[in-house]
Amino acid sequence: MFAIPEKFLLSLIMCLLLPAAPAFSEETPGAADLLLSGGKAMKSQDFDTAKRDYLKACDLGNAEGCRWYGFLHSSPNLMKAPATENDFARGLLYLAKACELGDAPSCAVGGKLAIDGGPGVAPDLSRGLSLYEKACDLGENSVCGVAGYLYAFRKENPDYEKGIPLMEKSCAGGDNAICAVLGELYEKGPSGIRNEARAMELYKKVCDLGMKRACEKLK
């Protein structure tokens, strides 16, 4: 079986950390200043002030404020911020809120955290997949493939009807690792989904891009 890389999470977290212009709308004009002050507080490691400002921005309906507030709570070690009781659950809650407001990285990171679980929060595959699908809908192509993979290859009740279209979408968007996995699924999967012609088409696609294992499938 071809393995899918999990580098997507790191890239999504980097998206969170890279400087960006404050995201705000006419409906939340005060959020810009709060995001800037929160960012300055973060740089000086004044995490209490950062959380306060990001929460205020979030309460104004600003997705970026919800994202940073959730991220500070759910990943305090990465941010070198002090951890407090119920941090993980609160962080996941606000990442989900940012996701609802249309913030794709929050959907992706929130999905990963929900699936893995954390202090005081049991792993929840269903909740995680829901967040992943939202991230996919918002344009996070790699997450489409991961969600599809989890649907198709979960141990209990694999869902090919949901999984394959998500993997096809990811493959079409340039995720070559998922193309290879999908090819093997079409080649060796249950009889109802086997499609040798499509499998060979996918193998050729990734072979042409230099994936030697896929080339071997064409011999």
Which pLDDT tens digits describe the chain residue by residue (219 residues)? 544 444 444 444 445 444 343 444 444 558 889 999 998 998 888 988 999 999 999 999 999 999 999 988 887 666 666 656 678 899 999 999 999 999 999 999 999 999 999 888 899 999 999 999 999 999 999 899 999 999 999 988 899 999 999 999 999 999 999 999 999 999 998 888 999 999 999 999 999 998 888 898 887
- Predicted local confidence at residue 29, as pLDDT: 52
Can you give the pLDDT at residue 156? 87
Q: Under a CB-based contact definition with an 8 Å cutoff, are residues 143 and 135 in contact?
A: yes
pLDDT of residue 79: 62
Phi, psi of 20, rounded to the nearest 5 degrees: -145, 155
This prediction has a pTM of 0.82
User: What phi and psi, each to the nearest 5 degrees, are found at residue 162?
Assistant: -90, -40
- Give the separation between CA 44 and CA 29, rounded to whole angstroms: 25
The pLDDT assigned to 24 comes to 41
- pLDDT for 128: 96
60, 28 in Cβ contact below 8 A? Answer: yes
